[in-house]
Amino acid sequence: MEVVIAPADELAVLAAGHVDRLLRRKPDAVIGLATGSSPLKVYDELARRHAEEGLSFARARGFMLDEYVGLPADHPERYRTVIEKEIASRVGWAPEQVQGPDGLAADLPAASRAYEQAIAAAGGVDVQILGIGTDGHIAFNEPGSSLASRTRVKTLTRQTREDNARFFGGDVDAVPTHCLTQGLGTIMDARHLVLLATGRQKAEAVHQLVEGPVSAMWPATIMQMHPHATVLVDDAAAGRLQLADYYREAYASKPAWQGL
Ligand SMILES: N[C@@H]1[C@@H](O)[C@H](O)[C@@H](COP(=O)(O)O)O[C@@H]1O
């Protein structure tokens, strides 16, 4: 696991750089897309590179991490709508180039299985962009999630619904109670994980993710078992890291042969 501590704008450029290099090496790459506020600057930077530097997404595909259950198709907070607005429409992706779990399916377990099959049929995810919840969830894998879980229905915790109420006019009761989410096992199958976290409210989750024991109580800790995980955090989110000085030194003195 590589930990990089830098200002938020720099983190976004680093994350976009990973996607950029992947696309230039593999134009038909599969990109895992996260919602939430953490990846927004990354999407801005990718849109900028698409518009100004000819970064092409024409042959690439996107797979979303998760989706609320039951939000109407035209709801502005439906993750499919958010991803369309924040990234897909800005990099020239046609609707069929981006897939997400179907939170409106009549048979949600069947939709979950179909989504796993779609990811596998696409050859798996090359780079997965991730945020982290204050309780250490990734995608919507709440504390207690099986570390080997696959795409399925989950019940959102009160804390997650309160955290996300800001997107629903501050009304926690307007936040759906259930979601479809890639499992931790699904996420771990991606070839590269790039997680972004900023702000003091993420400091404990980041500490657990990087330095805590691997545990279903802090689901993101499963990333410690991934062979290629990049954790990008600002000073505030790094505030509780015990080895912060070491991560700073290691990054500042990173030899060129280690690659980006
Ligand atoms: N399902 C999403 C996660 O994918 C995201 O990582 C998390 C953190 O959101 P934010 O980046 O806004 O803090 O929120 C939601 O719960």
The pTM of this model reads 0.96
179 C-alpha to center of ligand 1: Å? 13
Look at residue 258 and tell me whether its pLDDT is greater than 80.
no
Which residues neighbour 22 within 8 Å (Cβ) at sequence distance 6 or greater?
29, 31, 126, 127, 192
Tokens coding 209 = 């993710």
Look at residue 3 and tell me whether its pLDDT is greater than 80.
yes
Token pair 């500490």: residue: 207
Q: Which 3 state secondary structure label does DSSP give 140? A: coil
168 C-alpha to center of ligand 1: Å? 14
Task: Give pLDDT, residue 166.
Answer: 94
Q: Mean of the pLDDT values across residues 100-127? A: 98
Please count the other Cβ atoms lying within 10 Å of the Cβ belonging to residue 256.
6
Mean pLDDT of the chain: 97
Cα→Cα distances 168→76, 162, 163, 208, Å = 9, 10, 10, 29
Token pair 């992706």: residue: 93
43-98 confidence digits (pLDDT tens):
999 999 999 999 999 999 999 999 999 999 999 999 999 999 999 999 999 999 99
223-254 confidence digits (pLDDT tens):
999 999 999 999 999 999 999 999 999 999 98
> What is the distance, to the nearest Å, from the Cα of residue 200 to the centroid of all Cα atoms in its chain?
19
40 C-alpha to center of ligand 1: Å? 11
- Phi, psi values for residue 99, rounded to 5°: -125, 150
Whose CA is closest to atom 6 on ligand 1? 131
* Percentage of the chain modeled with pLDDT above 70: 100
235 is catalytic: no
Task: Give pLDDT, residue 256.
Answer: 78
Q: Where are the domains of the chain?
A: 2-254
Look at residue 260 and tell me whether its pLDDT is greater than 80.
no
Choice among 45, 135, 163, 234 that is catalytic: 135
Please state which architecture CATH assigns to domain 2-254. Answer: 3-Layer(aba) Sandwich (3.40)
Alpha helices for the chain (secondary structure H) = 8-25, 40-53, 79-86, 108-121, 158-164, 184-188, 203-211, 244-252
Q: Who lines ligand 1 at CB under 6 A?
A: 34-38, 65-66, 131-133, 139-140, 160, 164
